[in-house]
Amino acid sequence: MYRTVFSKVPASLITKSTILPLNILNKIQLGIIPPLSIQRGFLLEHCDAQLQQRGITEAKLLAMDGRLCSQLLKQLVYERYLSIPFRVFTFDMEFTGLPVFTPTGPTEDITELGLYSPSHDKVFSCLVQPVCGRPQRPEVAELTHITDKMLAEEGLPFTDAWSKFLDFVNMPEPNEKPGSDECILLLSHGGKLADISLIKWTLEKFKLELPSRFVFGDTIHLIRDAHRCRPVTVDKHPASWKLGDLVQWLRIPPTLPAHRAGNDAKMTWDALYHTLLRYGNEDLSPREQLVSHFFNEKAKHRMRSIETGNRSVAEEDECFSETDISSMNQKRIHEGGHSRSGALELDFDDIFKDSDALKHSPPITEFVIEDSVETDEPSMPETLESHLPQREQAPHHHVGNLESLQSSSEMENITSEAKIKESKNSSRTGKKNRTVAAVESDILNKVSIIV
């Protein structure tokens, strides 16, 4: 059926696109979707290999309505954008008390390190001997059930505990992309205030370096931003942004006791995952949404490098299917028919048109009044030139005190002036058209006086 219907594709169904994937991504992130004909042209131009992998032929693409085509466009563009490789973990720590940072260092020590791997669904926790020998505060021991005796018997020196921490994050994820070990995202709930600073201070104390591949993030900001986008409900906000209140407000069934580092790390991921799943970008999974928050510039730089053909051989992988890169470097001309998207067509075409094409497009210099427009003035001839005397037959006479035209070039200036004034009124009717007629009449009077 498709072969019969689309044996000859109308020009209005597909418009050749000069837009690159990065430009399309920027528009999509702003909520701007191009007309259907431009979507089809872009997909055929830049995503041919991806369409073939999905078994989508040109006929099937033409049979898609606007909604399905827009979903496919987003999916394929995001595949390129989200191809940035990384691992993600949530972490938490317990302390001897509430840490306060002074010029001489923090007032408390780390007592437990905890990690959670969403891809493996595994929890890591390790008790740590206080590096400064500080005892547990009674209120903290009651809350965490970690005693000084436990730390002395089961706790590891910080260097050994940190080594186990690194072993856990170095564990490959299932089906991970090449290069994921070079970018490790560590998320904590409120960790920006204490966790990250205390880790850095302790590493410096033992003359250890923090790996440059670590990227720290705070889930409080992600969760609060996502909640601002959700529908208004009776329980508009959680009682607080604390982890326990969030989990209860999101109605996540508790599986592990709270206030232990490993358990809290898992609860951190649960709270973030369910928040992004419910109130985040519906086109992306919770993990995929993390790219725009933490690796946006890196992902766009990667796309830009691919578009310009500057990607190094070491980065060549199968993260996504690529079309011929050399074709992306060639200058393309926007041609073909226009989409039939109604009144919005002009707006979208202006937004997505190549800037070079706009600069070199010829200006409108002529406007002809349509017969269907009714005016109060008598109808004028079709062109002004038909009423002007021929250049070689127009003698230059001076009449009275009127200023005469000195050369035929001035006549041409008057004619072009009338045309320009006509073109400025091209989108108006009625009263504006009468203005055009008056301008023509005035110029004709001047010409008749000269003659």
Considering 251, 276, 293, which residue would you say is the last residue of a domain? 293
The parent domain of residue 113 ranges over 85-293
- 279 and 311 in a single domain? The answer is no
Considering 327, 352, 377, which residue would you say is the last residue of a domain? 352
- Quote the pLDDT of residue 14: 58
- Quote the pLDDT of residue 315: 43
Q: Which two tokens stand for residue 69?
A: 């085509």
CB 236 within 8 A of CB 222: no
- Quote the pLDDT of residue 125: 94
Is the model's pTM score more than 0.85? no
- 245 and 148 in a single domain? The answer is yes
- 76 and 112 in a single domain? The answer is no
- Quote the pLDDT of residue 257: 75
- 302 and 286 in a single domain? The answer is no
Domain-embedded: residue 373: no
- 89 and 59 in a single domain? The answer is no
- Quote the pLDDT of residue 234: 59
- Quote the pLDDT of residue 16: 56
- 56 and 138 in a single domain? The answer is no
- 192 and 329 in a single domain? The answer is no
- 217 and 128 in a single domain? The answer is yes
The CB density around residue 12, as the number of other CB atoms within 10 Å, is 13
> For the chain, what is the domain count?
3
Report how far apart, in Å, the C-alpha atoms of 210 and of each of 163, 166, 181 are: 12, 11, 15
For residue 81, give the nearest of 27, 135, 39 by alpha carbon: 27
- 266 and 192 in a single domain? The answer is yes
- 94 and 68 in a single domain? The answer is no
- 248 and 148 in a single domain? The answer is yes
Give alpha helix (H) positions in 6-65: 21-29, 36-46, 48-53, 58-63
Low-confidence ranges of the chain (pLDDT < 50): 1-9, 11, 310-411, 414-416, 418-440, 443-451
- Quote the pLDDT of residue 34: 86
- 391 and 324 in a single domain? The answer is no
